Structure 1
Amino acid sequence: MAGGSVTVERAEDWQTLQRHLYGESSEDRDPGDQYRTSEVFRGHSNEAYTLRTSLQRFVGTTGEWQLEIRLLREFNKYAQQFIDEPESFFHLQSLAQHHGLPTRLLDWTYSPLVATYFATGGDPDVDGEVLVVDYAAAHEHLPDNLQEVCELAETEMLDTDLLEAGIEMLLRESGEETARAHVRAGSANLLEIKSVVTEFIDQHPESYAVFFEPPPIDQRIANQGALFASWFPAAPQQPMDEWLETHPEFFRKVVIPAEQKQPFREKLNQSNVNHRTLFPGLDGLATWLTDSLKPTTKGDR
């Protein structure tokens, strides 16, 4: 049940951070029990940041929301020399988000340590934060067809195939005989996706977020324990955190004090969570070496 205030915890040291991120301590559990959680995480280097999607920032106050489909259509057209034909609309959307195109998706991770890495970057004089969401509880607000897909698949986490199945179900219910052709992301069919997305949103006008696992696009997805949240706000410009703030039953925050950013980064690096491992390749390696070997004076610490 919604109501109350969002829990905000402050991690003044590494041990406190672990307790806030992982919740239930090992001492409180039966040694024979398996520990499973439906929590996912996102790190902000500045706690003042909002959860606006790149599409929301791109459109701004212009109201040009039709650009969402045009961006995807043009991306699909010009990316053919670099990628195979996307298997579905959601596969294409995941590829676009991963490579920096404005979309309605937001990056999340299964790993609290990965989220902490991103929370400890940026301005060293500004507090960061880790956002924590119980996706299973958030999915109780999904449209009925997506909840039915989760029940049929006996899962609380969606993926691109299950999302496609949900859209096909919606189209069949509306009498659409060529549902699969509409959902498949070929260049010609992307023009038809606009009506599908519009109908999908109209079926459930309240705000909701769909957490789903992307396809294994590259090693970065795996190393970061990445997943996406597709954000469907009731008002086009509503940031996701405004909705989450009304649901403290499945949303909380862990603040990373500015003075702990560097010490926490050093702990993360010792745990092999750093730019080299999270961004495989020469760019990630160069950033990791630059951060690791940067000279400091006593006054810098």
Structure 2
Amino acid sequence: MDREASVARTPTITRGSRQLRNWQNFQAWIDAHSDSTWVFRGLGDVDFSLIPTIGRIPQYSLSRELSVLASFRRRALQFANDAGFTNWEYLALAQHHGVPTRLLDWTTNPLVAAYFAASAMPAERDVVIRRRATRATPHASGVACRVVATRVRHSRVVDMESDGDPLSISEIAFMLPRVISNRIGSQSGLFSVHPAPDHPWLDPLEDSDHVFQIAGEDRDFFLKRLFYLGVDPLYLMGGLDGLGARAAWQAKRGIGLGATK
């Protein structure tokens, strides 16, 4: 056979076909984690660890954590109806509104986790710009992200009635809060609670079969596919904030704008 003819028939793997193959690999990964015991978390940087926000603050202390929570709870009544919230639900409410807590957000929907992974900004890095060392956030397209899956056994679910104090648990567990916010409901959300919030949780990241990595250059491809499936800021955030964020994302990419007059 003519070598040139053979080479000519060799299919070229384009960027688009590679990205589509990676998306299909993600769908297969989802199928392998499809029973109801799996939960998922998106990490916007391949170097991110599983450590709660309160534990990321330098020189974490329990006294500071308690002060932060007490301050939030005292003022929260100005803006939200108490509705008989338990200590656990106040903790979830604080986490949901950006207060640093010992909780980590998870979801039962892997597509939601993929959205948060692909849309999140990576961490700052040490770089050299014009021969000067500094720290900067690289463009997301240059940094891989990942979706993590872990099993939640019944024994690891907190009984919020008998375990009344979130700060008293001795092992990492999961809490299933009431839907105290529309966003928690739309995101199929639940939380892991960490008794040592300044220590990263290593177990879910140790088995590569349960971690799906998305190349930085594939982030936008994944976000477009998720948009086509209805997983976008409006679905996840709701309200005018979600609508505005979705409109901004669509305008930037020029997709899904619909008919206009």
TM-score calculated relative to the size of structure 1? 0.65
In the alignment, what sits opposite 2:252?
Answer: 294
What is the one-letter code of the residue matched to 1:130? Answer: V
| Other-structure match for 1:150 | none
User: Relative CO higher for 1 or 2, CA cutoff 8 Å, sep ≥ 6?
Assistant: 1
Given candidates 171, 194, 198, the residue that maps to 1:237 is 198
Residue 295 of structure 1: how far off its partner (Å): 5.1
1:232-268 alpha-carbon deviations (Å, 9 max, x no partner): 23xx52112x24446x49x821101122211111111
SS at match of 1:71: helix
Q: 1:66 aligns with which of 45, 63, 67?
A: 63
Indicate how the Cα distance of structure 1 residues 39 and 11 shifts in structure 2: closer, same or farther if over 3 A, else same: farther
Question: Shift in Å at residue 270 of structure 1?
Answer: 0.5
Unaligned runs of 5+ in 2: 1-18, 122-139, 255-261
Aligned residue for 1:174?
none
- In structure 1, runs of 5+ residues without a counterpart are 1-9, 25-34, 143-156, 168-182, 184-195, 297-301
Give the structure 2 partner of residue 75 of structure 1.
Answer: 72
Give the distance between the partners of 1:286 and 1:265, measured in 2 at CA: 17
Aligned counterparts, 1:160-171, within 5 A: 162-167=159-164
1:284 alignment partner AA: G
- Counterpart AA for 2:187: Q
Q: Determine if the alignment matches structure 1 residue 21 to structure 2 residue 30.
A: yes
- 1:16 shift after superposition: 0.8
Structure whose alpha-carbon radius of gyration is higher: 2
> Structure 1 residue 281: deviation in Å?
1.2
RMSD of the TM alignment (CA)?
A: 2.5
Quote how far apart the aligned CAs of 1:15 are.
1.2
The C-alpha deviation readout for 1:94-153, integer Å capped at 9, x for no partner, is 1111111111000000000000111111312211100100111xx65x5xxxxxxxxxxx
Which residue does 2:148 correspond to in 1? 131
Q: Distance in 1 between matches of 2:113 and 2:199?
A: 23
2: distance between equivalents of 1:286 and 1:78? 28
4+ runs deviating over 2 angstroms: 84-87, 242-246
Do residues 49 (structure 1) and 58 (structure 2) align?
no
Name the SS of the counterpart of 1:265 in structure 2: helix
* Aligned twin of 1:261: 219
Aligned to 1:210: 173
Q: How does 1:170-249 map to 2 (within 5 A)?
A: 197=167, 200-201=168-169, 204=170, 208-233=171-196, 237-240=198-201, 242-245=202-205, 248=207
Q: Distance in 2 between matches of 1:212 and 1:116?
A: 21
Q: Which moved more, 1:218-227 or 1:85-94?
A: 85-94
Partner amino acid for 1:266? Answer: K
Q: Which amino acid aligns with 2:191?
A: F
Distance in 2 between the 1:164 and 1:66 partners? 25
Identity of aligned residues (%): 29
| Paired residue type of 1:14 | W
Amino acid in the other structure paired with 1:126? V
Which whole-Å CA distance do the structure 2 matches of 1:126 and 1:79 have between them? 37
Q: Contact 2:54–2:198 (CA<8 Å) still a contact in 1? A: no
Match of 1:84 in 2: 81
Work out the CA distance in 2 between the residues paired with 1:287 and 1:23.
Answer: 32
Q: Tell me if 1:102 matches 2:96.
A: no
Query: CA shift at 1:164, angstroms?
Result: 2.7
TM-score of the superposed pair, with normalisation by structure 2: 0.75
